[in-house]
Amino acid sequence: MSTGHLYGVGLGPGDPELVTVKAARLIGAADVVAFHAARHGRSVARALAEPYLRAGQVEELLVYPVTTETTDHPGGYQGAIDEFYEAAAARLAAHLDAGRDVVVLAEGDPFFYGSYMHMHKRLAHRYPTEVVPGVTSVSGAAAVVGRPLVERDEVLTVLPGTLPADELAEWLATTDSAAVVKLGRTFPQVREAFEAAGVVDRALYVERATTDRQRTLPLADVDPETVPYFSLALLPSPLTGPGQPDEAAPAAAGGCAPGEVVVVGLGPGSRGWTTPEAADAVACADDLVGYGPYLDRVPANPRQTRHPSDNRVEAERAAHALELARSGRRVAVVSSGDPGVFAMAAAVLEVAARPEHAGVPVRVLPGLTAAQAVASRVGAPLGHDFAVLSLSDVLKPLGVVLDRLRHAAAADLVIALYNPRSKARPHQLGEALTALLEVRKPDTVVVVGRDVGGPQERVTVTTLGELDPETVDMRCLVLVGSSQTRVTPSGQVYTPRRYPA
């Protein structure tokens, strides 16, 4: 089978209308669309390409392990970033080997300080490759300030702001026109260089050129604390006029390694509640392991192998994940909510402690848990001290469950009840309510959230005396308020931060 084609596609500096016709066509036709992002998971490139994406395409999110922060990688920053590029290239190569065409998105131009070039160096000699140029940030900045960069036989010099100030100053003093990119943290030394070169009076600052958040002003007037990475300094040609622009309108943490198990929490329902860190771990995994319905929440990726299983085989599932990692695979064990709250994290760590799995690294990435999600829908019932209990007696006796429940109720804690009622144990919620009513008043506020974040979401505010156990199932979470929990006239629920003396 022939391999897929690799395309490095430039998207321009920010205005969606500056995406070329060819770039839009290739994005829409691609089998796989790849894009980079920092740890927050938001990709400028993907946002620009979104109008041209179509249903059914595979998206490869490539999250940098470091940007400006420090790293404990043995090879330092460069070692971490080189390892990331190698892993990212391998992920794309898997698609290309399978005959899938891959578009790698790049802000500006792919070969102008772009991350795409690192994929190009690793893949272009192995696969049919085409680079589609885009409008650079320098061209976009010159356009928005209305100042030509050079004319006749003048020289334009493009410089990275990461150079030492004295070296920058030397270049600026000897060129006709210049653009200094990569600002952000480097801005103070860049302005120092313009001052040392004696050209700061004709230098301009451009932020987020061609977007609805663009800002332009004299370089000398810029507050260094306000400078983002997507900005640059321009030194226009002295022949184009001395005028300076007026200030325009103001501007409106991952991964997984070979031979490792990462236990990931997807959150309680909505994809928007999955953290960028968790999404990154899922995106870079070779194998996804988990309870079938939870795996179904992860978009299919033909590069990955999925291992669904029943919800009652947690130890077997954990052992399988560890065996895959021992063979060198990148493994993500997927949980709903937070994996450390009545979920897979403890199960994986229990099995990982066995001698046969010694040396297999395990990491746990947190997720938004159901108690937080349900609480947010009604206000702030968890605003003071609270306890979290599971009513399941599969792994602990019911007597222990009820004893803990009575003690939590006696301590006047808000109580979040997980696994409240199943078909196999329909009586336990009723027994729990009886135990609570031994201590709590019948008018104690209760919140029941069902499928919160999902398509069948329903949230009910009631009281301990009126709660009907028959209305509750395993897709519910029950919040039992303290004596201080209140319901406002508008129906919101909160527990005051101050407790009476």
What is the structure's pLDDT at 1? 63
The pLDDT confidence band at residue 249, using thresholds 50, 70 and 90, is very low
Position 18, amino acid: L
Of 181, 189, 190, the residue nearest 229 (C-alpha): 181
Token look-up 């992920």 returns 91
Q: What percent of the chain has pLDDT over 90?
A: 83
Residues 379 and 481 in one domain: yes
* 218 found inside a domain: yes
Structural domains of the chain, count: 4
Give the CATH number of the domain where residue 349 resides.
3.40.1010.10
Alpha-carbon separation of residue 264 from 80, 153, 261, 298, 314 (angstroms): 22, 58, 9, 12, 14
Residues 274 and 236 in one domain: no
On average, the pLDDT of the chain sits at 92
Residues 107 and 123 in one domain: yes
Residues 346 and 453 in one domain: no
More confident residue, 138 or 254: 138
Euclidean distance between CA atoms 442 and 433, whole angstroms: 10
Euclidean distance between CA atoms 373 and 449, whole angstroms: 9
Of 309, 305, 325, 344, the residue nearest 256 (C-alpha): 325
* 345 found inside a domain: yes
What is the structure's pLDDT at 248? 37
Residues 112 and 50 in one domain: yes
The pLDDT confidence band at residue 240, using thresholds 50, 70 and 90, is low
Between β-strands 330-335 and 260-265, what pairing exists: parallel, antiparallel or unpaired?
parallel
What is the structure's pLDDT at 77? 82
Token look-up 């006696």 returns 410
Residues making up the chain, counted from first to last: 501
Tokens encoding 181: 């990119």
What is the structure's pLDDT at 246? 40
* 32 found inside a domain: yes
Q: Does residue 253 carry a pLDDT above 70? A: no
Residues 109 and 153 in one domain: no
Euclidean distance between CA atoms 140 and 230, whole angstroms: 12
Euclidean distance between CA atoms 214 and 208, whole angstroms: 5
Euclidean distance between CA atoms 28 and 49, whole angstroms: 9
Average pLDDT over residues 118-127: 97
Residues 122 and 23 in one domain: yes
Residues 352 and 376 in one domain: no
The pLDDT confidence band at residue 155, using thresholds 50, 70 and 90, is very high
Q: By CB neighbour count within 10 A (0-12 exposed, 13-18 middle, 19+ buried), where does 400 fall?
A: exposed
Q: Which of 368, 393, 414 is the last residue of a domain?
A: 368
From first CA to last CA, the distance across the chain in angstroms is 76
Q: Does residue 94 carry a pLDDT above 90? A: yes
Q: Which of 240, 271, 295 is the last residue of a domain?
A: 240
Q: Does residue 252 carry a pLDDT above 50? A: no
* 452 found inside a domain: yes
How many CB atoms within 10 Å of residue 464? Answer: 18
Q: Which domain holds residue 385?
A: 371-494
List of residues 6+ apart from 335 with CB closer than 8 A: 263, 264, 265, 266, 290, 291, 294, 343, 344, 345, 367
Q: Does residue 255 carry a pLDDT above 80? A: no
Residues 97 and 158 in one domain: no
Asked whether the beta carbons of 19 and 144 are under 8 A apart, the reply is no
Question: DSSP string spanning 341-362?
Answer: SSSHHHHHHHHHTSGGGTT--E
* 27 found inside a domain: yes
* 248 found inside a domain: no
What is the structure's pLDDT at 238? 80
Q: What is the pLDDT of residues 164-192, one digit of tens each?
A: 999 999 999 999 999 999 999 999 999 99
Q: What is the pLDDT of residues 334-366, one digit of tens each?
A: 999 999 999 999 999 999 999 999 999 999 999
Position 372, amino acid: Q
Tokens encoding 141: 């900045």
Give the CATH number of the domain where residue 401 resides.
3.30.950.10
Residues 12 and 128 in one domain: yes
Q: Which of 103, 133, 163 is the last residue of a domain?
A: 133
Average pLDDT over residues 209-221: 94
Q: What is the pLDDT of residues 427-461, one digit of tens each?
A: 889 999 999 999 999 999 999 999 998 888 999 99
List of residues 6+ apart from 158 with CB closer than 8 A: 138, 178, 179, 181
Position 72, amino acid: D
Residues 349 and 382 in one domain: no
Sign of the torsion formed by the C-alpha atoms of 110, 114, 115 and 118: positive
What is the structure's pLDDT at 307? 97
**Under DSSP, is residue 437 helix (H, G, I), strand (E, B) or coil?**
helix
* 255 found inside a domain: no
Euclidean distance between CA atoms 172 and 165, whole angstroms: 10
Q: Helices 428-437 and 398-410 sit at what angle, rounded to 10 degrees?
A: 30
Q: What percent of the chain has pLDDT over 70?
A: 96
List of residues 6+ apart from 433 with CB closer than 8 A: 464, 467, 469
**Under DSSP, is residue 190 helix (H, G, I), strand (E, B) or coil?**
helix
* 500 found inside a domain: no
Residues 355 and 389 in one domain: no
The pLDDT confidence band at residue 250, using thresholds 50, 70 and 90, is very low
